[in-house]
Structure 1
């Protein structure tokens, strides 16, 4: 197989990964709190051909003396883009929107083996579910049942039978009971994302830091900062459909061009083999 076919076929495999990423962005364009990803490419290892045996003839040359031949491109990684999405009013007291694009909620997830891990999300549609073993207490949970994390890692709990729910712009949570008394239910524990590239998607619009050693590099704990939370609203996806469609068409054309290069390489080899 000649070099042109190798380079084109390698690039096609990586372009497919970009198409998958764009498709995922488009399919989640209406998902609340979703953050799009961009694909970054880099060159594969190049080979250097010694085409100049007399270096004295290359005095003053700014580029390398020899010819460098690449082997296609590869996906260096996907970057999570944290731009703020549009905030829309829902009127639902348990819908929360984060007004700082670098902030995320913390949720506690219980694995099948009973272990618990912390995940992060921008999707702020929460619910109240009974605390296991204590039906008189309700806790705030995400749509998939993961518990919302409050200060000092504790869950956000309120007495059953509350009349209304109020969450301040600083993340403080209070419940009003039928007799008019107010119960302090705790404080939302938010995190500020410092290095989004360290976040790994785990599904359900949640993210996780895979390595504990990278936790301090990826995020910082935030509690009690004013002007961060808006109650009765949700943040829409930050996917720009027109931009993604443009990227989709461009990537498809690149894929077609590389596929054509493979076909042409095959035809050229067929012509060479037919020479007698």
Structure 2
């Protein structure tokens, strides 16, 4: 296999990964609180040929000396873009939208009989019955929403009204005039690139996080106590996906053109090898 084929096939596999990233963004354009990813490329190793033994002959050259021959490109990073999505008013009491970037709810997700803390921007909250006079606050997928102490939020008694203030305090007003208050568990992400997407709008720290030698305090900050005033929430609204469909379509067309170009290079290399082998 000649060098042209190696370069093209290496790049083709990476372009396919970029196409998968764009397709995932487009598939979640209507997912509440979804954050898009943006793929960036870097060069693979290249080989330099110093074809000019006398550097004095290259004095007025404007480009670097020698000839560099690469072996393709690779997907360097699928960067998570945490920009604010559009706010859609719903007037539903249990719908809340973050008005500040990099803030996430804490939710409890069960995987393989293990309970793990995940993070989400999805503010479409619901009530799930636990017993005859007790309900639990959950997401649309049924994951329990956690308070600032990482405990599921359960509300007892007959409740007539719910309110959530801008600092994430949930107040349940009962029929008998009493109230119950809870502080929703909210974190501020400092380094969003550490987060792994777990489908849709759920995020989690990587499974090998303990091996990375990084403290959780570096990656995110718990907005508890005196930091509650930094929380930004709007009741009766939902944050939409930050995916720009027209931009993603344009990027997809560019990737398809690059894919066609690399495929054509493989075809030309094959034809050239056929001509060489056919020489008698």
TM-score > 0.5 by shorter chain: yes
- 2:188 aligns with 192
Deviation at 1:20, TM superposition (A): 0.8
Deviation at 1:136, TM superposition (A): 3.1
Which whole-Å CA distance do the structure 2 matches of 1:203 and 1:227 have between them?
25
Structure 2 SS opposite 1:169: coil
Deviates more, 1:86-95 or 1:46-55: 46-55
- 2:260 aligns with 256
Structure 2 SS opposite 1:148: coil
Q: CA RMSD in A?
A: 1.9
Deviation at 1:29, TM superposition (A): 0.7
- Kindly tell me: are residues 178 and 187 of structure 1, through their superposed partners in 2, closer, same or farther at Cα, counting changes over 3 Å? same
Deviation at 1:116, TM superposition (A): 2.3
Deviates more, 1:14-23 or 1:214-223: 214-223
Which whole-Å CA distance do the structure 1 matches of 2:44 and 2:72 have between them?
6
- 2:107 aligns with 107
Structure 2 SS opposite 1:153: coil
Which whole-Å CA distance do the structure 1 matches of 2:148 and 2:10 have between them?
49
Does structure 2 retain, via aligned residues, the 8 Å contact 1:135–1:160?
no
Structure 2 SS opposite 1:203: coil
Which whole-Å CA distance do the structure 1 matches of 2:77 and 2:268 have between them?
30
Which whole-Å CA distance do the structure 2 matches of 1:180 and 1:170 have between them?
23
Deviation at 1:195, TM superposition (A): 1.3
Task: In structure 1, list runs of 5 or more residues that go unmatched.
Answer: none
Which whole-Å CA distance do the structure 1 matches of 2:96 and 2:124 have between them?
6
- 2:166 aligns with 169
Length, aligned pairs only: 272
Structure 1 residues 1-276: aligned runs within 5 Å: 1-58=1-58, 64-113=64-113, 115-131=114-130, 135-184=132-181, 186-210=182-206, 211-212=209-210, 213-214=213-214, 215-223=216-224, 224-225=228-229, 228-276=232-280
- Kindly tell me: are residues 230 and 238 of structure 1, through their superposed partners in 2, closer, same or farther at Cα, counting changes over 3 Å? same
Deviation at 1:160, TM superposition (A): 3.7
TM-score (norm 2): 0.91
Structure 1 SS opposite 2:88: strand
TM-score (norm 1): 0.92
Structure 1 SS opposite 2:197: strand
Q: Deviations over 1:223-270 (max 9, x none)?
A: 322561111111011111111111011111111111111111111111
Does structure 1 retain, via aligned residues, the 8 Å contact 2:28–2:241?
yes
Structure 2 SS opposite 1:22: helix
Does structure 2 retain, via aligned residues, the 8 Å contact 1:209–1:218?
no
Deviation at 1:124, TM superposition (A): 1.0
Deviates more, 1:218-227 or 1:254-263: 218-227
